[in-house]
Amino acid sequence: MADQSIPARLAAATAVVLLAAGCSGEDSATPSTPTPSVTGTIAPPTTSTSTPSPSSSGAIPAGSPSNVTTGLDVPWAVAFLPDGDALVTLRDKGEVLRVTPTGQTSSLGTIDGVNADGEGGLLGVAVSPTFATDQTVHFYFTSANDNRIVRTTLGADGFGSTTTVLTGIPKAGNHNGGRIKWGPDGFLYVGTGDAAQSNRAQERDNLGGKILRITGDGKPASGNPFGNSPVWSMGHRNVQGLAWGKDGTMFASEFGQNTWDELNVIVAGKNYGWPEVEGIQDGDGAFVAPIAQWATSESSPSGITVGADGAVYMAALRGESLWKIQVSGARRQGEPIRLLENRYGRIRDAVSAPDGTLWVLSNNTFRGQPRAGDDRIIRVPIG
C-alpha cells in the first residue's frame, strides 16, 4: 500500500481480538485464516449445504437467510426507496439497479462521468428522506479527477439530469471512502478516505480522511464544528460505513492499516487519530478511541446498519463475516459476535430493510473467490 506502517500504542486488555495481521483493505484478496473470537450462528442458507458454525448466544433466531437476487457484477451499496424497492450501485459498470423485495431486478441506466479504477467507481447512494415529494437521489463516485457527489431525480421514466453538488474529494487507487447517508437531522453525511496519503486525515481543509456533513446542495451544513466547512470529524483512514442508533448516536466503521479495524462513535469536531494512532491506544485523550476493534484479518469493515433490535451490524470484506455489535447508546455491550462466517465470502454492505430484516450484499466478483450466483443480496432475518 502507498502509506507506511504507523506505530500505535495499543491497550491489549480492551482488544476485541488479539491477532496481529497484515495490511487491511479491499486490496487484500485472500483472507488469512482467522482466530475465532465470539462466534454466532444462523440457520443454513436456503441455497447452501454448508455446515453451520457452532452455536452460541449470538445466534440470529427466527428464519434462514435467503437470496433476494443473484448475478450482480461488483455491487457496492444498497439504499431503499419508500415503496420498498432498493437501489443498488454496480461500482465498475457505473450502473444502478432497482431490486424489488421479491428479487425482480431491472437496470435504471448508468451515471455519467464514473471512472472505475482500482477501488474507485460508482460507490454510495442515498435516497432523499423526502423522496415522496422531491424524487431526489444522491450518488458518490470516482471521476477522472476526484471523488464527487451528484444529485438527480428518479421518476417513472428513470433518472433525470444530474447536478454536481460537491467536488474535490481526493481519489486514488484505494482509500476512496464512498458511503453517503442521510442523518436523522436531515443532512447528508459523507465518509471519505485519505486516498493513500495519510497526512490528509489531519489537514482540516482537506476533504480526505474525514466525515463530511452537507446539505442536499453540497453546502456545509449549519452547526458544523469548523465554521463554513463541510468537515464533521477528522483523523479517519477510510470510512465506508455510517449509521445511527434510535437515540441519534452516530457510528462509523473504519479500515485500519496493519493492526486494527475500528467501529467508532462519531462526535462533531473530534479527531479519531489517523495516522498518529490505530485502534484503542493509551494517551492523553487527544484522539477519540474506537468502541470496538478487530484484527485486520478478521474484518476490513465496509457498510454498517443499526438493526431493528438496536444492534450495529457491520459488513466485513477480508473477514468474510457479518459482525453484530450490541450497544447501549454510545457504549458497547459485551464482545462483538461473528455471524455468517465464510458463508457468502466477502461482505460489502448491510442495510436494514423496511420489513425489519437485513439485506446483506456480497462482494466476491472483485478480489474475491466468486461462486455460482455471485454476487448476491441475501435477506437475513434478525430477532
Residue 91's nearest CA partner among 344, 352, 361, 321 is: 361
Residues 214, 241: Cα–Cα separation, whole Å: 17
With a cut of 60, say whether residue 240 has pLDDT above it.
Answer: yes
What architecture (CATH level 2) is domain 12-380? 6 Propeller (2.120)
pLDDT tens per residue, range 281-339: 877 789 999 999 999 999 999 999 999 999 999 999 999 999 999 999 999 999 999 99
What b/e string do you get for 119-130 counting C-beta neighbours within 10 Å, with b at 16 or more? bbbbbbbbbbee
Residue 79's nearest CA partner among 103, 95, 98 is: 98
Helix or strand run (H / E) with residue 134:
helix 131-134
In this structure, what DSSP letter does residue 271 have? B
pLDDT tens per residue, range 94-143: 999 999 999 999 999 999 999 999 999 999 999 999 999 999 999 999 99
The set of residues, in sequence order, having a beta carbon less than 8 Å from that of 239 and lying 6+ positions away, is 177, 179, 191, 192, 193, 210, 211, 252, 253, 254
With a cut of 50, say whether residue 54 has pLDDT above it.
Answer: no
Residues 182, 329: Cα–Cα separation, whole Å: 19
Tally the residues of the chain. Answer: 383
Domain residue spans in the chain?
A: 12-380
- 42: cell is 444462523
